[in-house]
Chain A
Amino acid sequence: MSMTPAREAARHGGATLDWLALVQAWSTADYSKAISLSRRLKVLAATPEIHERLVPVRLAILSSATIEFLRPVLEGALLAAGLNPTLHVSPYGQVSTSLLQASGPLVDFEPHVTVVLTASLHVPGFPPLTASRDEVERTVDEVCHSLIAPCVAFNERTGSEIVLNNFHPLPGRPAGNFGAKLPGDPTQFIRRLNLALSDRAPRSVHIHDLVSLAERRGVDAWFDERYWYLAKQPVSFESAADYCRSLASLVGALLGRTRKCLVLDLDNTLWGGVIGDDGVAGIQIGEGTALGEAFKAFQQYVLALKQRGVLLAVCSKNDDRIARSAFTDHPEMVLRLEDFVAFKATWRPKSEQLRAIAAELDLPLEALVFVDDNPAERDEVARALPEVAVPDLPDDPGAFLRALDAAGLFEMVTLTAEDVQRTATYQVRRQSIEAATGTTDVGAYLASLDMTAMVRPFEPMAFERITQLVNKTNQFNLTTPRVVLAEIQRLASDPAAITRTVRLRDRFGDHGLISVLYGHVQADCLVVDAWLMSCRVLGRGVERLLLNELLASACARGMQMIVGCYKATNRNELVRGHYDSLGFSRYSGGDAIGSPGAEVWRLMVAGAVPLETHIATQD
């Protein structure tokens, strides 16, 4: 279902698109920006259209620190995570008392989730620096118990899930490097305490892993003592939005708002290069090149997601057989075909393929996350299927892993045997289910891309790129010629030749020179000798634009017909129907034109009308 923004707005209502834009902006906002975004999220959340999509949650917060500064940002984070929060903040500092009271405002509030936020500086019982290991262990036991026991009691009484944070190290190393060997060193103590919390927290007490957040940022950036002294602010303002995003992901997971299936593009997402053009030997994956290693690391991360229960699926514009060969034939591929529960490699719009995947797996669209290196594909999916999470990826494949991880879309709160088995379960299901198909409004999508093409004859500046594109294109290539630069040069100056290149630009950027066509005049025929295009712009209508160019040329030169050949290779199945789709018919009298074994097609110039495209042209 690809639509223009206007049509999309009609289907989903304008609020949905505004909402999506805010949620996307939220994912990277800092504290100051997050406050204003939160304000706007709150306004939209009150509209019926958004309200009905949100899961209500009653969230209690108990803290020894000040949470008033975090509160507006946390509300925004929860909204952005698809939750509609009602907050209850217990009085400052009365954590254990509130949890242990048999009645009172907290119990009356009946929280779904209770967040107990303890700042590192409020950890009770730091041992003296010179304390022995036994003394420190005893203190760890006591502190750990004093933190967990009230949580367990509260959970047993009310059923509320509990979120307890662990502790980042404090600034200062009074014993310097020797502190690493000193059990009573404050950082050593905190580390031991964190381990004890992880080991001893029961199922109902969930650890909010602030340590790993703080480590990623660096403790110096995570904690700003100035605002601690001034206002007991437990997290620096620089990191406050990260804290809230992470907490919101965790709370979302507790409410079942977690994604189940990771749908992946292939070319330039799971490996470097285009399998259809570069072949199994030509793609970059595995040791040997920096980029290959980066893609390998990303695949290993994806595999780890699968091992903990995330379903994997493929959604790629590709030839199914060729796409699969990358997994079966490449020795360094980390992911294998059997890791995927759905595999869609077709030339249909991706939103359509995603719908089919959801139907096949019997999952709601809300369960899907779509990962693709190409911003145009991400945009098509995000607009057509706002329910699907489409994280932004950076343009560096080496940073895909961090970007997907930071999106926090696959939080989990337990690990069950079922999680570990999930892929196998779906594999069995899949074998009995036919892929469903959807429909789509391709024209409206194409129009929304704001494409502009520059169609030029062969020019010296482009000779190298033309030669390269001719020689490396395998899929969208009607006759698969192989040329040297001198041949391109010769064609450019041959008056009997017709040569064209297409550069394409859209609102996502410049795709560069992406299509090449050349031919010659023979009697009253314009014969197309080569026609090829990069698959990156497949389905945009560039071939229709070129046909219009050909028609204009043929008319200008007084030609009667345009003749073209399709020479099948094991790579170019994609364009078998190329001439047919452009209105050509088989030309039985043209055998002398095509090489042996080629199909010859022709289009009579008289009566042919230019085809509609969604591409503006520019000289």
Chain B
Amino acid sequence: MKHEQILEQVSRIVAETLDIDDLRLDPAMSAADIPGWDSLTHVQIMVAVERAFGIRFRTGDIAGMATVGELVTRVEARFTRH
């Protein structure tokens, strides 16, 4: 799966979790740029992303993702290990 495809699917998951229609994520965005993305919904997003891609983030990685681009990179890294 390519970087752009992952970004697209992550966008969909975030939009669904935050209940926002028509959300377009940019790799440079951080949680603070997206309304509703707080510490509670962050975990919900991580859970949904893990489920959608069939991956498990490492314990230390779940909290420490500063930008959308970093999240996508982590997904890519876990995903390609299969």
The answer to the question of B63 belonging to the interface, with a C-beta cut-off of 8 Å to chain A, is yes
CA distance A229 to B51 in the complex (A): 19
Residue of B nearest to A228 (CB): B59
Q: Which residues of A contact B19 (CB under 8 A)?
A: 36, 39
Contact B44–A35 (Cβ < 8 Å): yes
Interface SS of B by simple majority: helix
Q: In which size bucket is the chain A interface?
A: 10 to 19
The answer to the question of B73 belonging to the interface, with a C-beta cut-off of 8 Å to chain A, is no
Q: Which residues of B contact A229 (CB under 8 A)?
A: 59
Q: Which residues of A contact B43 (CB under 8 A)?
A: 69, 227, 230-231, 233
Produce 1/0 per residue, B22-37, CB < 8 A to A.
0000000000000000
Produce 1/0 per residue, B16-58, CB < 8 A to A.
1101000000000000000000001001100110010000111
Q: Which residues of A contact B56 (CB under 8 A)?
A: 226
Interface residues of B in 46-82 (CB under 8 A from A): 47-48, 51, 56-59, 62-63
If A30-B51, A35-B17 touch, whether A226 touches B59 (CB-CB below 8 Å) is yes
Produce 1/0 per residue, A49-73, CB < 8 A to B.
0000000000000000000110000
CA distance A230 to B43 in the complex (A): 9
The answer to the question of A410 belonging to the interface, with a C-beta cut-off of 8 Å to chain B, is no
Produce 1/0 per residue, A205-243, CB < 8 A to B.
000000000000000000001110111010001000000
Q: Which residues of A contact B51 (CB under 8 A)?
A: 30, 32
Contact A237–B47 (Cβ < 8 Å): yes
CA distance A36 to B12 in the complex (A): 14
Q: In which size bucket is the chain B interface?
A: 10 to 19
Shortest CB distance B12–A (Å) = 12
Q: Which residues of B contact A237 (CB under 8 A)?
A: 47
The answer to the question of A31 belonging to the interface, with a C-beta cut-off of 8 Å to chain B, is yes
CA distance A69 to B47 in the complex (A): 11
Q: Which residues of B contact A225 (CB under 8 A)?
A: 59
CA distance A300 to B47 in the complex (A): 40
If A32-B17, A32-B48, A36-B16 touch, whether A68 touches B59 (CB-CB below 8 Å) is no
Shortest CB distance B27–A (Å) = 23
A–B complex contacts, Cβ < 8 Å, 7 sampled:
A32-B47, A68-B40, A69-B40, A226-B58, A226-B59, A227-B62, A230-B43
If A32-B51, A226-B57 are given as contacts, then 6 extra A-B residue pairs at C-beta distance below 8 Å, sorted by A number, are A32-B17, A32-B44, A225-B59, A227-B47, A230-B59, A237-B47
